Structure 1
Amino acid sequence: MSDVKKSARSLAGIAGIVAAATLLSKVMGLLRQQALAAAFGVGVVADAYNYAYVIPGFFLILLGGINGPFHSAIVSVVSRRQREEIAPLIETVTTLVGGVMLLASLLMFLFADPLIDVVAPGLSQTEFGLQTKAIAVEQLRIMAPMALLSGLIGIGFGVLNADDQYWLPSVSPLFSSLAVLVALGALAGVLGEDVTAARYAVLGGQVLAWGTLAGALLQWLIQVPAQWKSGLGRLRLRFDFNRPGVRETVRLMGPATLASGMMQINVYTDLFFASFIPQAAAALTYANLLVQTPLGIISNVILVPFLPIFSRLADPADWDELKVRIRQGLVMTAITMLPLSAILIALAHPIVRVVYERYAFDQEASQIVTSVLIAYAIGMFVYLGRDVVVRVFYALGDSDTPFRISIVNIFLNALLDFLLIQRFGAPGLVLATVGVNVISMTWLLVVLDRKLNGLPWRSWSQPIIGLTLGSLLTGLTCWGVLWGLQQVWGTEGFFLQLLQLSLAGLVGLSVFAGILSQLRLAEVEQIVGRIRRKFQRPG
């Protein structure tokens, strides 16, 4: 889509736009989760919401998310087409997807009760679980329209990215979080009234669900004017399903959706087992957000700019350059994820206390969430690295391979869940996912090695091994500094904990920066060179 591009932005320029927008969205998401933790802790409302959100969230993350299959398929197809072909293509795809997702929303509303039984069978075994289930069923009915909205959001994001618009798709989740914050603020207005705990739980569940639905609606509405202004499709019913571009989009979208859906099925599998452990679902969500906040920012910075680049290098004549770009993606993943993992593991408990511990979220809740956070942090590199490799397969027009591997991963994840939950409890569910991602990434790389006539394994693995060792030293440094500060100053008090975290984190990052400078990686030197040239430009 060369004539659609308004300007040829550099990879660094796109990454900067995405990083700034995603940072705003993630900060607002963290504030939302802090408000939710303060209002409900790890109690019945928080647990119910996590079970009710499984299916609507499945659609919103899977179909409506940046880097999701709808977004990836649209970018891959539209980037190679002339401008005059795009509007009819997008309108036809929107009509097809809208019809399917409207049906999904209706089914979700009608069968909310049995769906919650499928998601969380363990809720029917205790009084706490029965109360949780009742709230979850009502929440699911309220959030049912999110299935339709998710499809529209994902298509819109793909169109805007293909039109060289990155700010709005990356910042749009901010509005979703804002809607939930407004809803929780309204709920706070009833705290001064004579409301029983049971009534507060029911009312809290309803408000939380309506706020989530309003957020998804806002995410879609804010992208509509930009899409219309670009001339790349309007809200018009079009049934030209035989159009070649539609077939190609559906061909990529179908298996890609199923492949990504396998990951969400793994999430469902985790919650299936978590339903037998009170408070586990809430703990998984709180810990996951602490990982996803930085991971989401970094993943968008890496994946959003690289996907169109991978797509343009899909021709065999360009495979040498494609391999260079894949290495860039994996090394950038290692540079960001490995030290971050080490720091999160070393500082997990004070991080949880600083972020969440207030009002309904007490010290016991902090202990529960800390153990889960450590498990999540262990797998950050393979989580994002696997996504980088999957995008290469999408760019090559091969969505079948990730799909087949994902099917195997479902059974593997269920087996590991069963084995590890008995030994580690809720953290075992996360460790099972880490194991699945390690196997999946390795498998994908082996297949890619054959597909691209060989990969430069040594030049890829050497920097990652060096970064791994450097990150281990970073984590040990953070832990040692924190331990020393706690011996001198103690551990109680929000500002004291925040100061200790800041000092330990800064020392650890300084150690990693020193190690990084000694590794002399080409990717780092390129970034530093760009920054120097930017500041050296004459005013």
Structure 2
Amino acid sequence: MTNQEQKPSRSFAGIAGIVAAATLISKVFGLIRQQAIAAAFGVGAAATAYSYAYIIPGFLLILLGGVNGPLHSAIVSVLARRKQQEAASLVETVTTLVGGLLLLVTFAQIFLADEIVDIVGHGLSPTTRAIAIQQIQIMAPMALFSGLIGIGFGTLNTANQYWLLSISPLLSSVTVVAGIGILALQYGKDIIKPEYAFIGGMVLAWGTLLGAILQWLVQLIVQWRLGLGTLRLRFDFKSPGVQEVIRIMTPATISSGMMPINVATDLYFASPIPGAAAGFNYANLLVQTPLGIISNIILLPLLPIFAKLAEPENWPDLKLRIRQGLLLTAFTMLPLGALMVVLSVPIVQVIYERGAFKQDATELVSSLLVAYGIGMFAYLGRDVLVRVFYALGDGQTPFRISTFNILLNVALDWIFVKPFGAPGLVLATVGVNCSSMLMLLWLLDRKLNGLPWREWTVPILGLTAGSIVSGIASYATLVACQQVLGKQGLLILLLQLSISGLVGIVVFGAIASFMKIPEVNTFVDRMRQRFFKAKG
């Protein structure tokens, strides 16, 4: 690891504590941003257009520029096994290569904005279509900044800079909220009127772009100070380190690029359904807020560890770390998904139902949230396994699986949208994630000369059963609270949600504690010790 020669590495729990705190702050700001969008625009033209315009620039920022994205993973996998002196030249060369390619993507979005919107949004109204085209052209430079941010994330990860990695995405939320705030001060309640949709759409696009630029600048300053590369152009593309990054990065990037294709497919099927595209954004944010926090807690510390254990003589230890990642994923995602399913309506009401966001929007978003909750374990479990393949220097396998899943997603969308409507499209995504996870496990079993299936599946099945029980307990508590307190009023809804959620968590915690899973107990004990130590 780049910084190992300078200072000892932190423990898994220590890194997790830092990541949890920083990511929580960032995700809270993301939730505030989505609440501001919901209150100002509901599921109207500005928000719907933004959902379509965000497909390419936004997902490039999330995937290429995201923590645990392909660029981040490739950089960590290579730098973790090299000396610090090699880092700056390698990072600068990769930045030159990726930056040049993403400049082409930027210009392509600007000139092909009309075609992009027409492909994915065939049923959009003329007003929504016009707004989406303008938004794409404004946010097009995010393609370039997404690559730079992703490279910076990987570079800083190897230098143990976990705080900045996890907190910097809040800058995009801050700029969007600030833009909506200025708009509200200028136009007041008129902001929700359809005639102001175009202005609102432009505020969303410019705020998002400005946030990405600020995120990159903050990251770049720290990178420079640590001596891990500048903006110097380097063209040493044939150096061994750069070639290794390319071998991992190329299929991983293409593989990750399949996700926007799947999202575009979902939006194509959703475009005839009123408000569905904006509803996806609102529901997805509710899922991504806790998922992003937990994903960073689990994956950020494990990525360098996977890379260090990639040699065959270390595979027994690698299998133990994979088990740790999957069990922690099950321990966190399964009960969280159960609570999302049974408490979907009060969650949406408490967070979104105000301003332009009415009861019909609540019904739509809560139904989508139920579908997302069902697949939360598969979503993060797949990511754990993909990172193992990246650490082993194999980006081809996730790429081939992602290519197959494009066809599977189209088929499942077509099957599920008719009987289930918009939630059917989310269920199709859940099916794709489950398919990916099973295929990755099967191929990993062959690659690592066998996996201890029973040691992995028994505790995961137990945690699944515990999650179902906790969900039932939480729902029963919600019904009882509604009988006593009624269903009206923000404070009453918040109280019901808190009590019901707490009951579900306590029930699941008791079941998980009874199961005595070593990885879970150790992690919880260390996090508890760190928390009380911090308070003391």
TM-score using structure 2 length? 0.97
Which deviations, in whole Å up to 9, do the C-alpha atoms of 1:426-469 show, x marking residues without a partner? 00000001011111101110111111111000010010011011
Aligned partners of 2:521 and 2:467: how far apart in 1?
19
- Could you tell me which of 238, 242, 255 is aligned with 1:242? 238
Contact 1:7-1:164 at 8 Å conserved across structures: no
Of stretches 113-122 and 411-420 in structure 1, the one that deviates more from structure 2 is 113-122
For 1:80, the aligned partner's letter is R
Partner of 2:187, secondary structure, is coil
Contact 1:6-1:164 at 8 Å conserved across structures: no
Structure 2 vs 1, CA of residues 528 and 3 (structure 1 numbering), >3 Å: closer, same or farther?
Answer: closer
Q: Which residue of 2 aligns with 1:51?
A: 52
Aligned partners of 2:211 and 2:370: how far apart in 1?
30
- Could you tell me which of 158, 171, 187 is aligned with 1:162? 158
**Equivalences for residues 308-457 of structure 1 within 5 A:** 308-457=304-453
Contact 2:382-2:436 at 8 Å conserved across structures: yes
Q: Which residue of 2 aligns with 1:108?
A: 109
For 2:286, the aligned partner's letter is L
Q: CA deviation at 1:36?
A: 0.3
Report the number of matched residues.
533
Contact 1:14-1:166 at 8 Å conserved across structures: yes
Aligned partners of 2:301 and 2:413: how far apart in 1?
34
Aligned partners of 1:530 and 1:157: how far apart in 2?
26
Aligned partners of 1:436 and 1:444: how far apart in 2?
12
Q: Which residue of 2 aligns with 1:126?
A: none
Which deviations, in whole Å up to 9, do the C-alpha atoms of 1:239-272 show, x marking residues without a partner? 1112111111111110000111112211111111
Partner of 2:138, secondary structure, is helix
Q: Which residue of 1 aligns with 2:466?
A: 470
Q: CA deviation at 1:115?
A: 1.3
For 2:199, the aligned partner's letter is L
Which deviations, in whole Å up to 9, do the C-alpha atoms of 1:122-160 show, x marking residues without a partner? 22xxxxx22110110011111111011111100111100
For 2:328, the aligned partner's letter is M
Aligned partners of 1:467 and 1:66: how far apart in 2?
27
Q: CA deviation at 1:199?
A: 3.5
Partner of 1:191, secondary structure, is helix
Partner of 1:164, secondary structure, is coil
Structure 2 vs 1, CA of residues 194 and 399 (structure 1 numbering), >3 Å: closer, same or farther?
Answer: closer
Q: Which residue of 2 aligns with 1:74?
A: 75
Contact 2:57-2:139 at 8 Å conserved across structures: yes
Q: Which residue of 2 aligns with 1:230?
A: 226
For 2:376, the aligned partner's letter is M
Q: CA deviation at 1:532?
A: 6.9
**Equivalences for residues 220-299 of structure 1 within 5 A:** 220-299=216-295
Q: CA deviation at 1:411?
A: 0.1
Partner of 1:122, secondary structure, is coil
Contact 2:40-2:191 at 8 Å conserved across structures: no
Quick check: 1:16 aligned with 2:4? no
Which deviations, in whole Å up to 9, do the C-alpha atoms of 1:355-385 show, x marking residues without a partner? 0000100111101111111000000000000
Q: CA deviation at 1:59?
A: 1.1
Quick check: 1:460 aligned with 2:449? no
Q: CA deviation at 1:531?
A: 5.3
Structure 2 vs 1, CA of residues 424 and 529 (structure 1 numbering), >3 Å: closer, same or farther?
Answer: closer
Contact 1:63-1:154 at 8 Å conserved across structures: yes
For 1:183, the aligned partner's letter is G
Aligned partners of 2:492 and 2:191: how far apart in 1?
36
Aligned partners of 1:529 and 1:486: how far apart in 2?
35
Structure 2 vs 1, CA of residues 328 and 114 (structure 1 numbering), >3 Å: closer, same or farther?
Answer: same
Aligned partners of 2:47 and 2:352: how far apart in 1?
13
Q: Which residue of 2 aligns with 1:139?
A: 135
Unpaired runs of 5+ in structure 1? 124-128
Of stretches 186-195 and 466-475 in structure 1, the one that deviates more from structure 2 is 186-195
Aligned partners of 1:517 and 1:83: how far apart in 2?
42
Contact 2:3-2:159 at 8 Å conserved across structures: no
For 1:116, the aligned partner's letter is V
Contact 1:62-1:264 at 8 Å conserved across structures: no
For 1:69, the aligned partner's letter is P
Aligned partners of 2:192 and 2:142: how far apart in 1?
31
Quick check: 1:182 aligned with 2:183? no
Structure 2 vs 1, CA of residues 520 and 151 (structure 1 numbering), >3 Å: closer, same or farther?
Answer: same
Contact 1:42-1:283 at 8 Å conserved across structures: yes
Structure 2 vs 1, CA of residues 532 and 410 (structure 1 numbering), >3 Å: closer, same or farther?
Answer: closer
For 1:56, the aligned partner's letter is P
Aligned partners of 1:48 and 1:42: how far apart in 2?
10
Structure 2 vs 1, CA of residues 425 and 528 (structure 1 numbering), >3 Å: closer, same or farther?
Answer: closer
Contact 2:13-2:527 at 8 Å conserved across structures: no
Contact 1:339-1:512 at 8 Å conserved across structures: yes
Aligned partners of 1:531 and 1:297: how far apart in 2?
15
For 1:138, the aligned partner's letter is Q
Contact 2:17-2:527 at 8 Å conserved across structures: no
Q: Which residue of 2 aligns with 1:41?
A: 42
Unpaired runs of 5+ in structure 2? none
Aligned partners of 1:536 and 1:251: how far apart in 2?
43
Partner of 1:7, secondary structure, is coil
Partner of 1:42, secondary structure, is coil
Q: How much identity, in percent, do the aligned residues show?
A: 62
Which deviations, in whole Å up to 9, do the C-alpha atoms of 1:23-46 show, x marking residues without a partner? 000000000000000000011111
Q: CA deviation at 1:3?
A: 4.7
Aligned partners of 2:390 and 2:305: how far apart in 1?
12
Q: Which residue of 1 aligns with 2:88?
A: 87
Aligned partners of 2:528 and 2:37: how far apart in 1?
43
Aligned partners of 1:336 and 1:194: how far apart in 2?
42
- Could you tell me which of 472, 485, 491 is aligned with 1:489? 485
Aligned partners of 1:523 and 1:193: how far apart in 2?
52
Which deviations, in whole Å up to 9, do the C-alpha atoms of 1:53-105 show, x marking residues without a partner? 11101211121000000000000111111112111111111111111111211
Contact 1:6-1:163 at 8 Å conserved across structures: no
Aligned partners of 1:140 and 1:507: how far apart in 2?
44
- Could you tell me which of 193, 200, 223 is aligned with 2:196? 200
Q: CA deviation at 1:193?
A: 8.8
For 1:300, the aligned partner's letter is N
Aligned partners of 1:321 and 1:162: how far apart in 2?
21
Aligned partners of 1:194 and 1:283: how far apart in 2?
22
Partner of 1:414, secondary structure, is helix
For 2:110, the aligned partner's letter is F
Which deviations, in whole Å up to 9, do the C-alpha atoms of 1:400-445 show, x marking residues without a partner? 0111011000000000001100110000000001011111101110
Which deviations, in whole Å up to 9, do the C-alpha atoms of 1:181-237 show, x marking residues without a partner? 101011102324978934411111111111011111111011111000110100111
Partner of 1:190, secondary structure, is helix
Aligned partners of 2:284 and 2:42: how far apart in 1?
15
Q: Which residue of 2 aligns with 1:118?
A: 119
